[in-house]
């Protein structure tokens, strides 16, 4: 199971960046049609549709009274989990909450004189929905990384949806992480139907203000289609990592970091860029030796063949330029002086600095949310953070004396835009003729 080595002067890296960016932009016509039908059915029939689709897709017979997970089920999950694992979840929670509490935005008040002021109020969203996929493995990390930024922002009600297992239960690790993170309520419903339930509300599942969390192409398409009815976190695509490495890096470290992203799914991308051909060959050999021994080797084989590469460049100026063009979800700097490179990086979801800051550290434990922009969207999107769960309200407070200083300027501005009523709104407060007669003005 090999990974290709490419020698490049830089020009052909643009083609590589474009190819990787297209992973999230494939023809989705059939998916959109299927998801639209699900959204409409849930919107129109609510719990009935949720039960129908749970039977159809999850093969679990469901009635409305079973949609919500009970507190007793969560208690049982907490009791069945290994104490050491619970301790790790609590430690991760502390790191994540500390990082996001530090981001809480203060309100702003500016004194303009004469009793006037302008302000910015900061308020948490009132209800947030978190989607946690089921799939082949439980993802308690996604529970923590989505719920805790909302908790830090002060969101009072956090709703979580996750698909049931084949026996109708929810994975104990998912439930334990939700309890530890502070989910208000949990519903055993997955897929596009869960997104629809949180967007529109049903008799059982409440409508929310924002939906966040990962999912398959149907979940992500559903989030795109309900955007506007509710807010969403971001338009997520397949996972990716870009590693910049020089001769000081350890080939074993690089290979395992490389494979840690390639194993996500068949569309996952891992790219290593180095100026050292010897290192490139060493890493390629390590990847080949390790990949075939991994449990997810079929996924690795597909991603390694289609979306992974080791690129040898003449110097790191080329590597840094490519990093900013690619705008990777994860960027590792495994070089002798990584701090010197950071100021030159403008586009990346998360930067991992040095040989002892591997990407999985960010996935589970360090503190910043692992919900990151993908497919080049780090050019304009940010990682999920506390401000994503806050909204801001402007407050304008002027006295008569303060308004008197500027009302003519505002009126003139309005007249320039041919909005006479705007101008009169200013002038009527100081012009007795307009106040008493409602006359036009020049």
Active site residues: 329-330
Is there a contact between 148 and 93 (Cβ–Cβ < 8 Å)?
A: yes
Neighbours of 184 (CB within 10 A): 15
As a whole number of angstroms, the distance between CA 59 and CA 165 comes to 9
**Distance (Å, whole) CA 218 – CA 224:** 10
What is the Cα–Cα distance from 286 to 246, expressed in whole angstroms?
16
CA distances from 117 to 277, 395, 405, 429 (A): 62, 8, 14, 19
* Residue whose tokens read 């590792």: 332
Yes or no: say if 16 and 4 are a contact pair by the CB < 8 Å rule: no
Cβ pair 352, 358 in contact under 8 A: yes
Select from 197, 175, 172 the least CA-distant residue to 186: 175
Q: Packing angle between helix 191-200 and helix 217-226, nearest 10 degrees?
A: 20
Instruction: Specify whether the CB–CB gap between 427 and 435 falls below 8 A.
Output: no
User: What is the rounded radius of gyration, in angstroms, for the C-alpha atoms of the chain?
Assistant: 26
State how far the alpha carbon of 201 is from the alpha carbons of 8, 61, 272, in Å: 52, 21, 45
**CB-count burial class (<10 Å; 0-12, 13-18, 19+) for 136:** exposed
């Amino acid at each position: 199971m090999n990974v290709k080595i490419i020698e490049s002067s830089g020009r052909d890296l643009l083609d590589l960046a474009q190819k990787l960016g297209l992973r999230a932009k494939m023809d989705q016509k059939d998916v959109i049609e299927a998801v639209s039908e699900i959204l409409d059915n849930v919107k129109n029939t609510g719990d009935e549709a949720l039960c129908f689709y749970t039977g159809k897709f999850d093969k679990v017979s469901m009635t409305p009274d079973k949609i919500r997970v009970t507190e007793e089920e969560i208690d049982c999950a907490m009791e069945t989990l290994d104490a050491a694992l619970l301790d790790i979840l609590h430690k991760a929670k502390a790191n994540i909450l500390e990082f996001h509490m530090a981001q809480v935005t203060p309100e702003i008040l500016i004194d303009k004189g004469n009793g006037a002021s302008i302000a910015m109020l900061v308020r948490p969203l009132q209800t947030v929905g978190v989607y946690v996929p089921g799939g082949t493995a439980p993802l308690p990390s996604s529970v923590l990384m989505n719920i805790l930024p909302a908790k830090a922002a002060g969101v009072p009600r956090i709703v979580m949806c996750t698909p049931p297992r084949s026996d109708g239960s929810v994975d104990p690790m998912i439930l334990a992480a939700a309890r530890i993170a502070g989910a208000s309520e949990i519903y055993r419903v997955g897929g596009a139907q869960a997104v629809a339930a949180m967007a529109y509300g049903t008799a059982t599942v409440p409508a929310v203000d924002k939906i966040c969390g990962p999912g398959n192409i149907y979940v992500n398409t559903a989030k795109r289609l309900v955007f506007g009815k509710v807010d969403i976190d971001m338009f997520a695509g397949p996972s990716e990592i870009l590693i910049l490495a020089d001769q000081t890096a350890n080939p074993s470290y690089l290979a395992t970091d490389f494979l840690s992203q390639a194993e996500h799914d068949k569309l996952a991308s891992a790219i290593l860029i180095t100026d050292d051909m010897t290192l490139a060959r060493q890493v390629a050999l390590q990847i080949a030796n390790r990949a075939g021994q991994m449990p997810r080797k079929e996924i690795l084989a597909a991603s390694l063949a289609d979306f992974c590469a080791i690129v040898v460049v003449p110097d790191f100026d080329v590597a840094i330029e490519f990093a900013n063009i690619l705008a990777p979800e994860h960027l590792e700097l495994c070089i002798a002086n990584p701090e010197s490179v950071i100021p030159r990086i403008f586009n990346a979801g998360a930067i991992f600095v040095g040989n002892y800051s591997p990407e999985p550290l960010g996935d589970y434990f360090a503190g910043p949310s692992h919900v990151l922009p993908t497919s080049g969207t780090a050019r304009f999107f940010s990682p999920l953070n506390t401000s994503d769960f806050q909204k801001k309200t402007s407050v304008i407070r002027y006295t008569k004396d303060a308004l008197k200083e500027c009302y003519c300027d505002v009126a003139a501005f309005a007249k320039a835009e041919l909005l006479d009523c705007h101008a009169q709104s200013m002038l009527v407060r100081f012009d007795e003729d307009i106040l008493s007669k409602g006359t036009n003005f020049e």
